Amino acid sequence: MIEDLDHEIEIDARGLKCPEPLILVRNKMMDMQSGEVIKIIATDPSTSWDFPNFCKFLGHQMLSQEENGEEYQYWIRKK
């Protein structure tokens, strides 16, 4: 588990269903500076493909992606 990975912003999307986690992250990233890192905690399994595709499509960097039981954690650096 990578709990000590540096990040400026954290979003708790536990309990939210697609597309809510993705919308929250997209909206928050609009306010972030290039190079800043956001950590997302989610419980919706669809985030395991939504966030990698989001990063690929928009050019952000997926620093880490973890699954811990029913929780998914992501660290994304804004391009």
**CATH number of domain containing 51:** 3.30.110.40
**What is the Cα 8 distance to its own chain's centre?**
12
* Residue of higher predicted confidence among 2 and 62: 62
- Kindly list the catalytic residues: 18
pTM of the full predicted structure? 0.92
- Between helix 20-30 and helix 47-58 the angle, nearest 10°, is 30
Whether 16 is in a domain gets the answer yes
How far, in Å, CA of 66 to CA of 69, rounded?
A: 10
Domain containing 15 equals: 9-77
44 φ, ψ to 5°?
Answer: -80, 120
Q: What is the pLDDT of residue 2?
A: 55
Asked whether the predicted pLDDT for residue 4 surpasses 80, the reply is: no
> What is the pLDDT averaged over residues 16-22?
96
> What is the pLDDT averaged over residues 59-64?
97
Total of domains in the chain: 1
